[in-house]
Amino acid sequence: MLIDTDILVDYLRLHPEAVHFLDGLTKKDRAVSVLTHLELLQGCSTKLKSQTVDHFVKQFKVLPLDAEISLSAMKLFREHKWHSHMSIPDVLIAATALSSGEILYTRNVKDYKMIPGLKLHSPY
C-alpha cells in the first residue's frame, strides 16, 4: 500500500484515526513516495523537526522516482491539468502508485478519482 502525505501529516499531528490506522499496519505493508518524504520536509520549520520527519519516514519503504514514473506523470499531468488542477506532487504520487501496482491510501480521494486504473482507498 502506498500512503499519501495527508495520512502521515495526520499521524504526526496525532489524529487518533491516523494513529490507529498506521499503527495497525506491519512495516512491510507501508510504502510512501519520495515525494511524500519531500512534502513532509517542506512543512518543517526547524532542522530538529526535519530530523524527526527523517526518522519517522524510516518506518516506510520509500519508493523512488524512475523513468517509468516520470513518463506516466507527464502523461497524467497533460491529461488532467486543465480540468482537475492536480498538483505536480499529486501527479507524481499517483504515477508511483500506478507503476508499483499499489493501492493509494489517501483522504483526498477526490483529487485522484479521475485517474483511470488508480486504485484508491480512504482509511478513515
- Of 110, 87, 78, nearest to 35 (Cα)? 87
Residue 22 identity (one-letter amino acid): L
From the CB of residue 85, how many other CB atoms can be counted at a distance below 10 Å? 9
What distances in angstroms separate CA 26 from CA 29, 30, 72, 80, one per listed residue? 5, 7, 29, 34
- Give the pLDDT of residue 90: 94
What percentage of the chain reaches a pLDDT higher than 70? Answer: 100
Cell numbers of 67, please?
523513468
Output the pTM of the full model: 0.92
Cell numbers of 104, please?
493509494
Which residue ranges make up each domain of the chain? 2-118
- Return the CATH superfamily for domain 2-118: 5'-nuclease (3.40.50.1010)
pLDDT in tens, 31-71: 999 999 999 999 999 999 999 999 999 999 999 999 999 99
Cell numbers of 27, please?
512495516
